[in-house]
Structure 1
Amino acid sequence: MKLLDERLWSLFRRHCQQTLTYWSVFFSFGLCIAFLGPTILDLRCQTQSTLQQITWVFFSQQFFLLVGSSLGGLFKKTLLSSLSALLFCTLIISLVFAIIPLCHNIIPLSIAMALAGSAMGVIDTVGNLQLVKLYQKDSAIFLQALHFFIGVGALVSPLVVDPFLAESNCVLGANWTTNSSSSSDLQHLRSRIAGQGAGLHNISHDSLHTEGVVITRVSYAFWIIALINLPVPAAVLALMYHEKLLPCFSNGPRLLDGDSVSSVSPTGADAKGHGSLFACCNPAKLQGQPTTFFILHVLGGAVLFISDGIIGSYAGFVYTYAVLPPLLMGHKTAGCLTSIFWASITAGRLAFIYLSYRYTPSRVLTVSLVGVILVQCLLLMFNTSCAFLFIGTCMLGLCISSVFPSMLAFTEDILDYKGCATTVLVTSASTGEMMLQLLVGSVINSQGSYAFLLSCTVASFIGFGLFLLFLYAQHIHRNTGSSNNTAMEEKPKPGGS
C-alpha cells in the first residue's frame, strides 16, 4: 500500500522545494527550543550570574516568542515578504548562536534570547501560514511533517551541546576545593532546570559561585549549532532565487504568477486575512461573519492553549516530580524523562504523517485528546510506579504530538482559509506554553509534587471539553453556511420573471 495516493504525490512534487524549505526552517526552530535548558548552567558561569538571574533568559525567550507569533502574520501578504521574513529570522538564529559566547553579562544574553524568541515566533506563524496556504484541504499531512522537523531539531541540539557541558562547577572560587559542586550535584541541578521556565520555580534555594575563574567550553557548541543552521537561510535564499524574488534575478515572470497562484489561493485568503493578531481585530474585515466564525477562532485557540501548555508543563516539571517523594528516582534516571518525552512527540508526529492521510483531522483529534486524558488518569493511578512514569511519558508524547498540526488544519478547513485562524492558533499555543508553566509551577510550590499530575489531568479534561464545544460550533457554523447559500440561490434576480 502506498503511503500517499498519486494526487498527493503530484501535489508534493509540484511544491517540493517550497515544502522542503519550510520544513528546514522548522528544523531551525527546533534547534532553538532545546539548547537553552542543558546549557543554562554553563551560561550562568559565562555571565557570572546567580541561578535566579540566569533563569530569566527563559522568560525573555518565551515572551518574545509570543510577540513574534502575534506579529508574524504581518509578513504573509506576499510570498516575497514571507520568504524575506524567514530568511532574516533564520539568519538571526545563526547570529544569536554565534554571539551567545560573547555575552558575558546577563543583560546582553537576555537581549540575544529575546531576538531568538522573536525570530522563532515569526517562523512559527509564517511557516504554518505558508504551508496551509500551499496545500489547503490537504495540509494536515504536511503540517504533521512540518512539526516533525521541530522535534528533529530539538533532538539534535542537546546532542551537539552535551560533550561541551561542564562536569563540575565552571566558576572556581578561592575555596573551590571545599565548596565546588560535584559532578552528580551539577547534573541534578542541570536536569531540574532543563524544562523551559521551570527553573524559576525550582532553584530558589540553590546557590553556586558567581566570582572566580570561569572554565567552560560551551562556546564551541554554540558555534557548531550556528554552522549547522546556516544551510537553512541558504535554502530560503535558494527558494527566493527559484521563484525569481531576488532583485538581481527578477527578470521574467515569477513562477507563482501563473496557474499556481490560483491553485494556491482560490479563496482570496491572501488578500483578506492572516494578518497579525492585531490586524485580525479590524472591524472592517469582520463584518458579515456569523457569530460561530469568531467562536471557532476562540475555541480552537483555547484547545491549543491547553494542549501546548500541557506539553510545556510536562517537559518542564516531570524531572522535578520524579526526584521528589513518592518516587525518589535517581537524578540520572529522572533526567532521561524529558528527552523521552520530546523523542516520543517527534516519533508521534512521524507516525501521524500517515495517520493524517488515512483519517480526518476531527477523528485524529478526538482519539489524541481522549488518549491524553486516559494516560493522565493512568499516571495518577500509578503515581508510585517509576516504571509506569516512563511508559506514561512515552504514551503522553505520542498522544499529544498531533494536536497542534491537526487542530490547525481542521480549523483552517472549517473557516475556508480566510480570516486569521493560523495567527490566532499559533499565538494561543505560545501563550499557553508560557502561562501554564507558570501556573503549574506555582501549584507545585504550594501543594506539592502530586499537584503536577493533577494539574495536567484537569487541563486535559478542560481541553477535551473545549474540543467538544468546538465540534458543536462547527456543526452550527456548517448549517449556518448551508442556510445562507440556500437563501442566496433562492433570492430572485433583479428583472427576473
Structure 2
Amino acid sequence: MIVTQPRTAEARDSTRLTVTYFLGYGLVGLLSAVLGPSMQTFLAMTGSPLRTLAILFTADAFGSVCGSLIAGRLLNRIGTHVQVAVGLVAVAVVLAAIPLLRWPVALAVLFWALGLAKTFVFVTVNTLLLWVRRAKVGPFINAADFFLGAGSLVMPLMIGLSITWTGDVRLAYWLVCGCAVALTLWVLRTRAPRPESEQRGRGGGRHYLMIGGVAVLLFLYVGAEISISGWLPSFVLLRGLTDDAATAAYFTSLFWVAVTVGRLLWVPFAQRLRPAVIVASSAAVCALAVALIVNNASSVAVVTAGVVTVGLGMSSIFPSAFAMLARRVEMTGMVSGVCLCAASLGAMFFPWLAGQALTTP
C-alpha cells in the first residue's frame, strides 16, 4: 500500500491534467472555426464587401504565428498554468468585444489578437500534455486532436443557432467566452506538471534536424488541410458535381467529420505502431485518395469516397508528428512554438497557392 499510493496519486493527477488539456484543445477547436460561419454577419454589420473582410483571415493567421512564437519563448520562464490562464483571459476579452464592433479595421485587429491568444493557449496545452504523457503521448495526442476537431464541428452549429434565435452571433461568442472563463478558473485550481527537463534529460535541444523535419511536415500538413477545407466547395462547383453552393459546402463538413472520427479511430493504432510508420502510411493513403479525386472529378461517388479517405488519412498525421518528436526531443515551449509557427505559416501560404491553381484555366 505504501508503494502503490504515490503511484495512484500520480496517476490521478495525470488524468486530471490530461482532461484539462483536452478541454483546452476543444476550446481552441471552437475558436478555429469561428470566423467562416460569422462572415455573412460581419458583412451585414460593417456594410463592407467580402474583398475587404477577407483580411480577417490573414489577420487571424498572422496572429497565430505571433502567438506560437511568444508562447514558446515564455513557457519555460513563467508559471505554465499562469500562462494558460493569461491566454484564456485574452480569448474571453476578445470574444466579448468582437460582436460589438462595426469597423473592419477594428475587427482585423481583434481577429489578430484572437489568433494570437488561441495559439498561445494551444502551444502551451500541447506542450504540457507532452510533459504529462511523455514518450507514451501518441494515443493521447490523437484523443486531444479529436476534441480539437469536435470543437471545429460544434462552433458552426452554435453560430447558426445564434443567428437563427437572435439574428446575430453574440450568443455563440459569449457562450464560448463563458467557457474560456470557466476553464481559466479550473486551470488555476490545478497543479501544473513539472517541465520535462526535470523529469528526464535526453539532450533534446540538440536534435535540430528532427525539429526542423517535423516543422516542415506540419507546414505541409496544415497547409494541405486548410487548403482542402477552404477550396473543396469551389472544386466541387467548378467540376460540375453540383450547382448548389449549400450542397458543395457539405463536402467540407464531410471532410471534417472524417478527420474528427479518424483521430478517434487511430488511437488504438497509436498504442501499437511507431509514429513514423503511421505518418508514412497516412501520407501514402492521402496521396492515393487525392489522385483518385483528381482523375475522377466528374463522379460524385468517387469524389465523396476520396474526401472521406483523405480526411481519415490526414487525421493521424498531426498527432503522430508530435508523438514522433516527443520520443526523440525534450519538449520545451520553444520546440512546440517553432513547430506550430511552421503550421501557421503553412495555413497562410498553401490556401493562396491552391486558389491560384484552382482558378488557373
Q: Please, what TM-score do these two structures have when normalized by structure 2?
A: 0.90
User: Where does residue 124 of structure 1 map in the other structure?
Assistant: 122
Give the secondary-structure state (helix, strand or coil) at the position aligned to 1:267. coil
Give the secondary-structure state (helix, strand or coil) at the position aligned to 2:130. helix
Report the Cα distance in structure 2 between the residues aligned to 1:334 and 1:229, rounded to whole angstroms. Answer: 33
User: Where does residue 96 of structure 1 map in the other structure?
Assistant: 94
> In the superposition, relative to structure 1, how do residues 9 and 401 fare at CA in structure 2: closer, same or farther (>3 Å)?
farther
Alignment counterpart, residue 238 of structure 2, candidates 309, 324, 329: 324
User: Where does residue 36 of structure 1 map in the other structure?
Assistant: 35
User: Where does residue 184 of structure 2 map in the other structure?
Assistant: 233
Superposition deviation, residue 404 in structure 1: 1.1
What do the CA deviations read for 1:363-405 (whole angstroms, capped 9, x no partner)?
2112111111111111122111122222211111110011111
Superposition deviation, residue 343 in structure 1: 1.5
Q: Does 1:296 align with 2:210?
A: yes
What do the CA deviations read for 1:416-448 (whole angstroms, capped 9, x no partner)?
557954332221111111111111112223x24
State how 1:42-53 maps to structure 2 within 5 Å. Answer: 42-53=41-52
Q: Does 1:112 align with 2:110?
A: yes
Report the Cα distance in structure 2 between the residues aligned to 1:304 and 1:220, rounded to whole angstroms. Answer: 34
Moved more, 310-319 or 411-420: 411-420
Maintained 8 Å contact 1:28/1:90: no
User: Where does residue 68 of structure 2 map in the other structure?
Assistant: 69
User: Where does residue 165 of structure 1 map in the other structure?
Assistant: 163
Alignment counterpart, residue 356 of structure 1, candidates 270, 280, 291: 270
What do the CA deviations read for 1:131-168 (whole angstroms, capped 9, x no partner)?
1122221111211122111111111111111123379x
The AA in structure 1 aligned to 2:268 is Y
Larger Rg computed on CA atoms: 1
Report the Cα distance in structure 2 between the residues aligned to 1:264 and 1:351, rounded to whole angstroms. Answer: 33
State how 1:174-193 maps to structure 2 within 5 Å. Answer: none
Maintained 8 Å contact 1:412/1:418: no
Maintained 8 Å contact 1:134/1:264: no
Give the secondary-structure state (helix, strand or coil) at the position aligned to 1:147. helix
Maintained 8 Å contact 2:69/2:334: no
Maintained 8 Å contact 2:242/2:248: no
The AA in structure 2 aligned to 1:364 is I
> In the superposition, relative to structure 1, how do residues 380 and 325 fare at CA in structure 2: closer, same or farther (>3 Å)?
closer
Maintained 8 Å contact 1:39/1:165: no
> In the superposition, relative to structure 1, how do residues 157 and 261 fare at CA in structure 2: closer, same or farther (>3 Å)?
closer
Q: Greater relative contact order: 1 or 2 (C-alpha under 8 angstroms, separation 6 or more)? A: 2
Q: Does 1:141 align with 2:139?
A: yes
Higher helix share: 2
Superposition deviation, residue 330 in structure 1: 2.2
Maintained 8 Å contact 2:219/2:345: yes
Give the secondary-structure state (helix, strand or coil) at the position aligned to 2:79. helix
User: Where does residue 4 of structure 2 map in the other structure?
Assistant: none
> In the superposition, relative to structure 1, how do residues 129 and 429 fare at CA in structure 2: closer, same or farther (>3 Å)?
same
Give the secondary-structure state (helix, strand or coil) at the position aligned to 1:431. helix
What do the CA deviations read for 1:25-63 (whole angstroms, capped 9, x no partner)?
111111111121011011111122121111111110011
User: Where does residue 339 of structure 1 map in the other structure?
Assistant: 253
Superposition RMSD in Å: 2.6
> In the superposition, relative to structure 1, how do residues 264 and 347 fare at CA in structure 2: closer, same or farther (>3 Å)?
farther
Give the secondary-structure state (helix, strand or coil) at the position aligned to 1:165. helix
Report the Cα distance in structure 1 between the residues aligned to 2:112 and 2:268, rounded to whole angstroms. Answer: 36
Report the Cα distance in structure 2 between the residues aligned to 1:434 and 1:149, rounded to whole angstroms. Answer: 23
Report the Cα distance in structure 2 between the residues aligned to 1:308 and 1:363, rounded to whole angstroms. Answer: 19
Alignment counterpart, residue 267 of structure 1, candidates 191, 196, 201: 201
Report the Cα distance in structure 1 between the residues aligned to 2:83 and 2:8, rounded to whole angstroms. Answer: 28
Q: Does 1:23 align with 2:22?
A: yes
- In structure 2, the gaps of 5 or more residues are 1-6
Maintained 8 Å contact 1:46/1:216: no
Report the Cα distance in structure 2 between the residues aligned to 1:419 and 1:64, rounded to whole angstroms. Answer: 18
Superposition deviation, residue 329 in structure 1: 4.0
Q: How many residue pairs get matched?
A: 355
Give the secondary-structure state (helix, strand or coil) at the position aligned to 1:301. helix
Report the Cα distance in structure 1 between the residues aligned to 2:227 and 2:295, rounded to whole angstroms. Answer: 20
> In the superposition, relative to structure 1, how do residues 268 and 76 fare at CA in structure 2: closer, same or farther (>3 Å)?
farther
Report the Cα distance in structure 2 between the residues aligned to 1:395 and 1:52, rounded to whole angstroms. Answer: 33
User: Where does residue 389 of structure 1 map in the other structure?
Assistant: 303
The AA in structure 2 aligned to 1:148 is F
Report the Cα distance in structure 1 between the residues aligned to 2:35 and 2:197, rounded to whole angstroms. Answer: 41
User: Where does residue 55 of structure 2 map in the other structure?
Assistant: 56
Q: Does 1:372 align with 2:269?
A: no
The AA in structure 2 aligned to 1:123 is V
Moved more, 392-401 or 221-230: 221-230
Give the secondary-structure state (helix, strand or coil) at the position aligned to 2:257. helix
Report the Cα distance in structure 1 between the residues aligned to 2:140 and 2:296, rounded to whole angstroms. Answer: 36
Report the Cα distance in structure 1 between the residues aligned to 2:186 and 2:15, rounded to whole angstroms. Answer: 12
Q: Please, what TM-score do these two structures have when normalized by structure 1?
A: 0.67
Superposition deviation, residue 9 in structure 1: 9.7
User: Where does residue 175 of structure 2 map in the other structure?
Assistant: 224
Report the Cα distance in structure 2 between the residues aligned to 1:418 and 1:229, rounded to whole angstroms. Answer: 25
> In the superposition, relative to structure 1, how do residues 163 and 443 fare at CA in structure 2: closer, same or farther (>3 Å)?
same
Report the Cα distance in structure 2 between the residues aligned to 1:433 and 1:238, rounded to whole angstroms. Answer: 34
Give the secondary-structure state (helix, strand or coil) at the position aligned to 1:77. coil
> In the superposition, relative to structure 1, how do residues 439 and 433 fare at CA in structure 2: closer, same or farther (>3 Å)?
same
> In the superposition, relative to structure 1, how do residues 12 and 433 fare at CA in structure 2: closer, same or farther (>3 Å)?
farther
Superposition deviation, residue 106 in structure 1: 0.8
Maintained 8 Å contact 1:94/1:226: yes
Report the Cα distance in structure 2 between the residues aligned to 1:87 and 1:357, rounded to whole angstroms. Answer: 31
The AA in structure 2 aligned to 1:322 is V
Q: Does 1:312 align with 2:235?
A: no
Q: What percent identity do the matched residue pairs reach?
A: 24
Maintained 8 Å contact 1:411/1:421: no
Alignment counterpart, residue 86 of structure 1, candidates 68, 84, 87: 84
Maintained 8 Å contact 2:259/2:314: yes
